[in-house]
Amino acid sequence: MPELPEVETVRRGLQPVMEGARIMRVETRRPDLRFPFPERFAERLEGRRIVSLGRRAKYLTTHVEDGPVLICHLGMSGSFRVETDDTADAPGEFHHARSKSATHDHVVFHLAAATGDAARIVFNDPRRFGFMLFAEGNASEHPMLAGLGVEPTGNELDGKLLAELFRGRRTPLKAALLDQRLIAGLGNIYVSEALWRAGLSPTRAAGTIAEGGRKGMEACERLATAIRSVIADAIEAGGSSLRDYVHADGSLGYFQHAFSVYDREGEACRKPGCKGHVERIVQSGRSTFHCAACQR
DNA sequence: CCGATTACCTGCACGC
DNA sequence: TGCGTGCAGGTAATCG
């Protein structure tokens, strides 16, 4: 489900509830998600105050006082929702619009805010590709985060860096952009969208835009700009709501309406003046959507 | 080193 | 109504 914009949207939804609150109790309703929960998972969190909620790529990091850093990944189908006594006891509110099976509520964090208000943070994940791990000390040194590449937010990712990352790589642009060791946070949707915005073919060897002299440099600049803009636009729209994905407060993201190619097989290309249409191809076993007419 | 394939798991849409 | 098939936003292990 969630690529960087969705994870960032989740983070922003949870932050006001979690930061400063104390974790009173942690329930795990099964022994594992993708991986087994860490030893003494609940015990090491209970009683501690949450200092901050961060994000690296598609990972959420929860920092507590005098405890481990909780690293959460949502996998394909993971989501968090916030329950307060108001929301839980009020039938027919937004819960109704998106009945999500409690069958897959795997973890519940019972919180007490500084004001004394109680809240529950519930992690739901039907496919259980998500996971929760602990980092001792600096989370960025945890094996799961240590190898991650540059964030596609902010100014660091530019044409020059992209050229350095791609130089000599014969892998298709699609695969290069999905490689979290190069750029961290892009997923299947936003890779298709970024390549369309940049007018670059997903099948083109990544190295060819890094080695093509002036034209190559222009392509790198276009791609860096496309990546940053599509991620920024998606975050601003509150992410994409596909299938059952919703925000922590139950609301929906809107970016799926702004998709240019993803899941639009057969539609006319939206690029002004382009006569092409959106095609679906399969690369490394996953769908890629692109316009062969304007993406070269 | 590289890339492609498979595995992990459940739900849903679709055709019959 | 049910059943088989394919597909789904993730990462990681394995195989050439």
The pLDDT tens digits for A113-158 are: 989 899 999 999 999 999 999 999 899 999 999 999 999 998 999 9
CA distance A180 to A294: 27
Å: A287 CA to C7 C1' = 10
Span between the terminal Cα atoms of chain A, in Å: 28
Closest nucleotide to A181 by C1' from CA: C11
With a CB cutoff of 8 Å and minimum separation 6, the contacts of A47 are A22, A23, A24
Instruction: Read off the pTM.
Output: 0.94
Per-residue pLDDT of A8-31, as tens digits, reads 999 999 999 999 999 999 999 999
Å: A166 CA to B1 C1' = 15
Give yes or no: A141 in active site: no
With a CB cutoff of 8 Å and minimum separation 6, the contacts of A163 are A209, A210, A216, A217, A220
Give yes or no: A228 in active site: no
Give yes or no: A280 in active site: no
- The structure tokens listed for A241 are 């709501």
Closest nucleotide to A180 by C1' from CA: C11
Of the residues A48, A56, A58, A169, only one is catalytic, namely A58
